[in-house]
Structures are given as C-alpha cells and as structure tokens.
Amino acid sequence: MDDIKKAAELILNSKKTFALTGAGISTESGIADFRSSTGYYSKMDPAMALSKDVLLGNPKRFYKEGYLILTDLNEKEPNKGHLALAKLEEIGKLNGIITQNIDNLHTKAGSKNVYEVHGETRGIHCMGCGKEYPFKVMKNKVEKGEIPPKCDECGGVLRPNVVMFGDMMPDAFQKALAELYSTELLIVVGSSLTVSPVNFLPDYAEKLIIINNDPTPQDRKAEVVFNRSSGEVLSQILHEVEKQL
C-alpha cells in the first residue's frame, strides 16, 4: 500500500481525527514561514516585532514592524491544502483543526471547528473595556496617524487578537488540548513541532500522520510521513478518502 492510501485508510478507520497546522500549510498562499531564511523574522527580531511590551511601550516600533505582518496576512487566500482539510471536515472525516497560524485561512477555506491557539487577525479588542472591533478599524485609525489606536468607547489602547511574546496562551489552547485527550489520529501539517507548548500536542494522540517539508522530532512515532508539498499531499489524500466512501 502506498503512503497516500495508507493515510486515507487511517482517516477512514479513525473514530476521531484532528489536524494540527503550522506555517508550512500557508506557504503556498504566499506567506513565508516566520522562521525561514526569507520569512518575516529574517528582517526583524520576533521578540520585538510582535511583543506586548513593544506594543505598549514603543507603539511606533510595533506599527512599523509587527503590525505590517498582520496587515499582510489579511490579504492572503487559502490554498488547496486548506480547502482539502475543510472538505474532510464537511464529509465527516475530520473533527476539527488546531492551528498555530494567525492568517485566518482555515476559516476562509470554510473550516468550522478551528482552534486558533496563537490568535487571529480578523479582529481587535480594547485592553481597557474589552470591546471588540473588526481589524479594519485598527487599519483605518493607523492610516490616519492614530498610534496607538484608541477605543471609541473608553479611550483604552486597541490591540490585535493575536498571541504576542509576553502573552499567556488563550482559552483556545486549553480547549484544543482537551479535544486531543480523546483523539485517535492527528494529522500534523506544515509544523516543525519545535515551538512550545504546541510541540507537545502530538503526544496526546494515539496515531500521527505528518506532512512537512523537513523532518520533525515526532517522525519516528508517525504511521506515515510526507516530506513534500502539503497542498498536493492533502489533495491526494482527500481524493483517496472520497473514492472509498
């Protein structure tokens, strides 16, 4: 049995399947891996670009560096890897997605049950009163020179709904972890599995499928490993699953 058929069989026979996705699934949408030689952090210090301390203490720097990453992500569209995962959920063969990505591409692709453990760039909120706004409100205020942008209700500082350096992990992480206690199969897509605490999540699943361009620390535990394009692999797996339904 070839690896595509083996992966499809694992999905078809699994009682509960989740996907765990990282930056690698989004490279085909034109988003460079954050830590690659051509990624966002090759030109800036990640601990400063998306840092809560910089957001509050040096907002001009934040809106010159980290904010540009967030606005760039908002322009991207899902690729065939995102669409394949959404389809697997639609046909009842994927229970949900846990993603490290803040690019919104899983929700744009139509996935419904998505745990965004590093946050998202669809919205912002006031650090004073908690009022929520769409991301375009921040964009409009920044374009008008309002740095940092302030809440219309209480005058508090607005911030993106992303997990920055210095932030606690959001509730989505604990909810994702709870899902994995009963997950039989985890499909890891585009993650190096080196960023804590997400890199510990595969330990909670009984079986693993890993799709990543480079080797990961969990490869030895996986039922099958693909070191090639996630969009291509996921599309082929979906086709095989649909053939056998």
| Known binding-site residue numbers for Zn(2+) | 126, 129, 151, 154
> Which one is catalytic: 82, 106, 118, 239?
118
Please, are residues 210 and 233 in contact by the beta-carbon 8 Å criterion? no
Question: Binding site membership: which residues?
Answer: 126, 129, 151, 154
Cα-to-chain-centroid distance, residue 163: 11
Six token digits for residue 233: 């692999």
d(Cα 231, Cα 84) in Å, to the nearest integer?
A: 8
User: Is 118 a known active-site residue?
Assistant: yes
Which residue has tokens 């389809």?
Answer: 87
Residues 99 and 89: their CA atoms lie apart, in Å, by: 15
CA 204 to chain centre: 19
φ, ψ of residue 9 in degrees (nearest 5): -65, -40
Residues taking part in catalysis? 118
